[in-house]
Structure 1
Amino acid sequence: MLFTIRYNALYYPVIQGISLLIARRKILMKTAGMLLSLALIGCFVQFTSSRYQKLTGIYQFTPFTGWQMANNALYAYRYVDSAHVKKVPKRLQKIDKMVRTYFDTTRDVKKNPQEMLIASTVYMWAPNSPLSLYMNDQFKGDSLASSLKRWATVAPLLKDYGSFLIQQYPQQFIKYYLLPNALKYYAPPVEFLEYYSTGVDSVDNTTEVWFDYSSKKIKTRFKDFKVTVLNFFPVFTGTMNVVLLFSIISFILLRGYKEYPYLKQGLILVIALWLVNFGFSVFASPIALRFQLFPIIISTSFSFLLIEFLVKKATEKELIVTIEPNMELSKAAIEQEN
């Protein structure tokens, strides 16, 4: 069900697989649980792919992958000097030419402030991005094609183009996309949540019907559409990531896993979630707060559990230190009385 909402759930079976491994269940039940999960996701993938094939004539699960991969690659490709550009395959030459032209005409960041953004999503959604311009050029003779059909039809080529750029310029991709995106994972930016309803005081017909609004005009409890209440989240998230890391290290060093086996199992899942989500998030798409709320809630919850463990450990040591001197005094008093 979560997979039908957002494709981040694609890695959830990995977490489920780990939970099944450490669970005290029969092998048959574990296997059935894993196979059922994969079967449900597989059916959804098959259904969605067939629908896109019917629409575009191309079998693909989600066009979003192609657009995302091309977008991510361009954030590295724009730092490749024209003199060092490698030859591209013939079928990719047209879009590559449009991309290089775009980069050459947007060097002035004062006139093009969007080019100052690092590891963002501008190239996916901006109407003047080279990817959007290429899509429109491919359908300039077909005014009846829907926006979904245009978007989905060019996605496979964009995927090949993005994959080609990443393979040809791996150092630039690591330096200008992966590393900045990894830093965002430490403290996710507020991004679109900075403004309520993206700063617009009205919605379209689809949104009005979907949310059953009485009118297209919307209201906010803030004095304007700027949301400042979330500004503390990046700092809070970064702090809790550090707290979680050192709490886990302390839990291991103090051998808390021997005293609290259930907490140990929970931490195995938390660490697995953190690592898998980190890898998926950094490689797949630019990181933003709205995508990381679930991992943040889990990390924060277990951070407090570990802090409780550390407080108990510290209290136990103080109790031992207090009791031992009293025991010595009691022995001395008994000896003196005898």
Structure 2
Amino acid sequence: MPVPPIVLQSKSRSTHYFIATAIITSFIIWFIFKLIYPYPFITIDSYYYIGAAYENANAGSWPIGYSKFIRIVGYLSHSPTLLVTIQYLVLQLSFIYLFLSIRNIFQIGKWSSLILFIFLFLNPLFIYGSNHIMSDIVFCSFAICWICQLLWIIKRPRLYMIFTQAFLLTTIFTIRYTALYFPLFTIMVFIISNQSTWCKISGIGLTLLLLGAFIQFTRIKMEEVGGIRQFSSASGWKQASNALYMYGHIAAVDNTPVPDKFKVLHQLTKNYFKGPHTYVDLYSIDKEFTTGSFYVAAYESPLMQYLRTKQGENADVFEFKNIAPFGPFFNSYGTYLITHYPLPYIQYVILPDIMAYLLPFPEIYGTPNDLYYLWSNHLGVVAKNWFEFTTITILTNFIKIRGIILSPYPLLFFIIHVIYILSLIAILLQKHYKKWGNIIRKSYFLLVLICTINFLFTILSAASVLRFQFTFIIIEFVIALISIKLIMESAARRSNNHDSYNGMKKV
């Protein structure tokens, strides 16, 4: 993880105090936390990550980056405590990097720094999140470091940042494919940065080279497993699932013919919605077990029915090689339905996704029961063997405490979204940005653009749950804090100018 120049340059006693306090409190908090919660939290996704690490897989339903992270830590020890502790420490280091970067670039004062410090280092959500065997915290950590690196390329570019930025972005890309649009920011930042054309071309070129190499590597490995060269099988299933959330509302009245290649699947879809079936709706996805991916996971789903017609009734859907070949076909089918029924898609998918973004579903940060017991199937056996588990049971009182502590977070996220939006509107309407320095203006609008593109990407692709927003709620919080600080400074200047003017009139 690259060291920010400010760590070396800062002479501020308060900055050193903040760093020391962050380090000490982080260790104390984690030590106490692990006494209370000695075992990690494990959900359905965890088993797939552990299974891929166990098999050293190079392709799967999920991106391979986090599984490789588990495997790398496994070279040191298979202790689950070590794994989640490393996750926590990496997150704290990324928070220190962010905290110092924001203090230096935007020159926030003591009170703003204190508020940001509390939000980052004393936030129970990130402490509990670090105890999950999930990719969310690792993704958040590297994404935060990458964003900080972009800010420093704007403020004070250095040659080594060509390499560190490319490494960070490629790492993020291997962990979660929602980073697909991240290279756009890299290209933009290098273009507007104050460095030589050679450095700009090198920075952009190296990034695209590494990402292209990873994409091609993944496509080849996907072909070896599933027989079809593709980058992501899961995205195709998800595209079709989103389309079915919409199509369920219009299937009864739609008689439009479809292309021949879709006829079998489409007939299964029509029959499914005409007959008895489980009603699911993205406006209330908290009431169904998949939180927005019902047609990917449910046995009765038309997608699963189609898989069984091709693979046999006893096909094991937990085996990636059985589900991978259908990704491209389902992607085409989902895209066909979406493009032919755009208005229903907006009504039944995009609008509820907007609501879910503003008030995200807690999902595994609610009260799921599966966090505290091990599966008995082959995935559970793999997890036991990898981590040498005997149990992950936690005292009931501590389970309840977790639920109580985390229950306000959907509302808290909503409040942060609202404050962020209102403060941004105030900045734009009052045109405060015209009075800022060039570095602050570029940095501020980079952060705004990252949040804006993420919002658009999210509402078009999937219903948002709490854990998907970790990185971006942090950035929104930072933007809101900076906006309020700049608005207050502007108001103070106007007040001083007004007082000076009145004083001159009296004289």
Range into which the TM-score falls when normalised by the shorter chain? 0.7 to 0.9
Match of 1:218 among 393, 396, 408: 393
Match of 1:246 among 415, 418, 422: 422
2:394 partner SS: coil
Match of 1:195 among 367, 378, 395: 367
Please say if residues 202 and 216 of structure 1, whose CA atoms lie closer than 8 Å, have aligned partners that are also in contact. Answer: yes
Determine whether 1:9 maps to 2:179. yes
Determine whether 1:207 maps to 2:207. no
Aligned to 2:119: none
Q: 1:263 to 1:233 in 2, by over 3 A?
A: farther
Determine whether 1:56 maps to 2:226. yes
Please say if residues 432 and 487 of structure 2, whose CA atoms lie closer than 8 Å, have aligned partners that are also in contact. Answer: no
Cα deviation, residue 78, structure 1: 0.6
Q: 1:234 to 1:77 in 2, by over 3 A?
A: same
2:391 partner SS: coil
Please say if residues 205 and 216 of structure 1, whose CA atoms lie closer than 8 Å, have aligned partners that are also in contact. Answer: no
- 1: CA distance, partners of 2:317 / 2:373: 30
- 2: CA distance, partners of 1:121 / 1:142: 22
Match of 2:439 among 262, 272, 277: 262
Task: Give RMSD over aligned pairs.
Answer: 2.7
Structure 1 residues 69-102: Cα deviation after superposition (integer angstroms, max 9, x where no partner): 1001001111114342311222222222222222
Cα deviation, residue 271, structure 1: 2.0
**Which structure 1 segments of 5+ residues have no match?**
332-338
Aligned to 2:271: 101
Aligned to 2:210: 40
- 1: CA distance, partners of 2:348 / 2:449: 26
Q: 1:262 to 1:36 in 2, by over 3 A?
A: same
Q: 1:319 to 1:76 in 2, by over 3 A?
A: same
Cα deviation, residue 320, structure 1: 3.7
Cα deviation, residue 202, structure 1: 2.5
Cα deviation, residue 182, structure 1: 2.0
Structure 1 residues 284-336: Cα deviation after superposition (integer angstroms, max 9, x where no partner): 2222121111111001012111111122222333334444555555x4xxxxx
Structure 1 residues 28-64: Cα deviation after superposition (integer angstroms, max 9, x where no partner): 2111111111111111111111111122221111111
Aligned to 1:22: 192
In the superposition, the TM-score normalised over structure 2's length comes to: 0.59
Q: 1:101 to 1:65 in 2, by over 3 A?
A: same
- 2: CA distance, partners of 1:155 / 1:328: 75
Q: 1:319 to 1:198 in 2, by over 3 A?
A: farther
- 2: CA distance, partners of 1:75 / 1:130: 12
1:292 partner SS: helix
- 1: CA distance, partners of 2:269 / 2:297: 15
Counterpart amino acid of residue 266 in structure 1 = S
Q: 1:104 to 1:243 in 2, by over 3 A?
A: same
Determine whether 1:173 maps to 2:345. yes
Cα deviation, residue 209, structure 1: 4.7
Please say if residues 257 and 263 of structure 1, whose CA atoms lie closer than 8 Å, have aligned partners that are also in contact. Answer: no
- 2: CA distance, partners of 1:37 / 1:206: 36
Aligned to 1:314: 491
Please say if residues 252 and 273 of structure 2, whose CA atoms lie closer than 8 Å, have aligned partners that are also in contact. Answer: no
Counterpart amino acid of residue 229 in structure 2 = Y
- 1: CA distance, partners of 2:319 / 2:384: 21
Aligned to 1:282: 459
Please say if residues 237 and 331 of structure 2, whose CA atoms lie closer than 8 Å, have aligned partners that are also in contact. Answer: yes
Aligned to 2:38: none
Aligned to 1:66: 236
Cα deviation, residue 213, structure 1: 5.5
Counterpart amino acid of residue 217 in structure 1 = I
- 1: CA distance, partners of 2:466 / 2:187: 26
Please say if residues 196 and 227 of structure 1, whose CA atoms lie closer than 8 Å, have aligned partners that are also in contact. Answer: no
Please say if residues 64 and 155 of structure 1, whose CA atoms lie closer than 8 Å, have aligned partners that are also in contact. Answer: yes
- 2: CA distance, partners of 1:303 / 1:114: 36
How many aligned positions are there?
Answer: 325
Please say if residues 99 and 130 of structure 1, whose CA atoms lie closer than 8 Å, have aligned partners that are also in contact. Answer: yes
In the superposition, the TM-score normalised over structure 1's length comes to: 0.86
Structure 1 residues 215-272: Cα deviation after superposition (integer angstroms, max 9, x where no partner): 2333266344972433322322222223223323333424344234332112221121
Aligned to 2:92: none
Q: After the TM superposition, which of the residue ranges 23-32 and 82-91 deviates more from structure 2?
A: 82-91
Which structure would you say has the larger Rg?
A: 1
Match of 2:201 among 7, 21, 31: 31
Match of 1:299 among 476, 481, 487: 476
The alignment-based identity, stated in percent, is 25
Listed as ranges, the matches of 1:107-122 within 5 Å are 112=278, 114=280, 117=284, 120-122=292-294
Please say if residues 248 and 306 of structure 1, whose CA atoms lie closer than 8 Å, have aligned partners that are also in contact. Answer: yes
Please say if residues 350 and 459 of structure 2, whose CA atoms lie closer than 8 Å, have aligned partners that are also in contact. Answer: yes
- 2: CA distance, partners of 1:36 / 1:273: 21
Cα deviation, residue 141, structure 1: 7.2
Please say if residues 244 and 302 of structure 1, whose CA atoms lie closer than 8 Å, have aligned partners that are also in contact. Answer: yes
1:68 partner SS: helix
Q: After the TM superposition, which of the residue ranges 154-163 and 64-73 deviates more from structure 2?
A: 154-163
- 2: CA distance, partners of 1:141 / 1:35: 48
Counterpart amino acid of residue 261 in structure 1 = N
**Which structure 2 segments of 5+ residues have no match?**
1-170, 286-290
Q: 1:27 to 1:196 in 2, by over 3 A?
A: farther
- 2: CA distance, partners of 1:53 / 1:225: 46
- 1: CA distance, partners of 2:177 / 2:335: 20
2:272 partner SS: helix
Aligned to 1:334: none
